[in-house]
Chain A
Amino acid sequence: MAAERATRLTTTSLLDRLEIRDLLYRYARGVDRRDVDMVGACFTPDCRYDGALASGTVADMLTALPAAMARYERTMHFMGEPAVDLDGDTAHSETPTVAYHLVPEGGGMRVVHVVYRDSLRRTHAGWRIVERNVRRAVD
């Protein structure tokens, strides 16, 4: 988190925090249901993306995603509570995640611990991720 800031808990800020949390969880739902459109809708089209899937923009990530998902029988991106830092129409969040990847044909499970570090912006269609950085955590 860029700066520690005590977010005032007004009705509006609670709603913003809930919408941002829903957005982050919708990303996981989209990936785990293999719904690339649902995943894409979480980001602005020009969102910068830096993670294992791509280093560039979200378009690069979305291009790489289907092949990455096809390697596994299923995935479960199990997320903890996102830490959300609101600042008007922008926000930053960090979401600790345990990503379980089930390998086909009894190949066992690949477990990856990551933290999603996101910058977000309020758009006319709701909150969207404008920059995402994915980093491996404990392992």
Chain B
Amino acid sequence: MADELVALAHLLDRQAIRDLVTRYACAIDRRDFDTVAACFTPDATTDYTFFAGPIRDVLEKIRAGVSGFAMTMHVLGNHLADVRGDEATSETYAVCYHRRQGATGGADLAVAMRYLDELIRTADGWRIRKRHATVEWQQSAPRG
């Protein structure tokens, strides 16, 4: 029984972390920046390759960057997480499509990233306290 409870707790942590990373992606696409901010600890640090710094500064840059596109879609794939007590690390593959403004705005921009996150369990649940988003490749994608 004790083993089963340990297993259940592990499953719940893994699911909560996956949900957190997924919630971030959905919130960016919905431009719900309050939800985006709530995915991080207030003192989180980030390196998004294009810009880096404390999350409060980077959030403004993300907001400005995303607002330059008509819409975005963050598609998440491979997700691995390593939970150690109240801390965890995770890696998530993402292909992020950016639709340019205007009816003839040109091809979509696809940017593939790996989110390398350090997470911490807080009173309000798991939060990202450090994020390194590496750019794996980017290219124009045919507009659907």
B11 touches A100 (CB 8 A): no
A76 touches B137 (CB 8 A): yes
A15 touches B80 (CB 8 A): no
Question: How far apart are B6's CB and chain A's nearest CB, in angstroms?
Answer: 10
B10 touches A79 (CB 8 A): no
B7 touches A12 (CB 8 A): yes
**Chain A positions within 8 Å of B112 at CB level:** 76, 78, 100
For A1-45 the 0/1 string (1 means CB < 8 A from B) is: 000000000011011001000100110110000000000000000
Nearest chain B residue, comparing its CB with the CB of A108? B139
Is A80 on the interface with B (CB-CB < 8 A)?
A: yes
B8 touches A11 (CB 8 A): yes
For B74-88 the 0/1 string (1 means CB < 8 A from A) is: 000111100000000
B7 touches A15 (CB 8 A): yes
A25 touches B10 (CB 8 A): no
Q: With the chains together, A80 CA to B79 CA distance in Å?
A: 10
A14 touches B11 (CB 8 A): yes
Q: With the chains together, A26 CA to B91 CA distance in Å?
A: 11
Q: With the chains together, A18 CA to B80 CA distance in Å?
A: 10
For B99-137 the 0/1 string (1 means CB < 8 A from A) is: 000000000000010000000000000000000000011
Is A122 on the interface with B (CB-CB < 8 A)?
A: no
10 smallest CB-CB distances across A and B, nearest first, come from A25-B78, A78-B77, A79-B78, A76-B136, A25-B80, A79-B77, A15-B7, A11-B7, A11-B4, A102-B137
Give me 6 other A-B pairs in contact (C-beta within 8 A), A25-B80, A79-B78 excluded: A11-B8, A25-B78, A74-B136, A77-B78, A79-B77, A109-B139
| Subset of 10 A-B contacts with CB under 8 Å | A11-B11, A12-B4, A12-B7, A14-B11, A18-B11, A22-B80, A25-B79, A29-B80, A76-B137, A109-B137
B interface, CB within 8 angstroms of A? 4, 7-8, 10-11, 14, 77-80, 91, 93, 95, 112, 136-137, 139
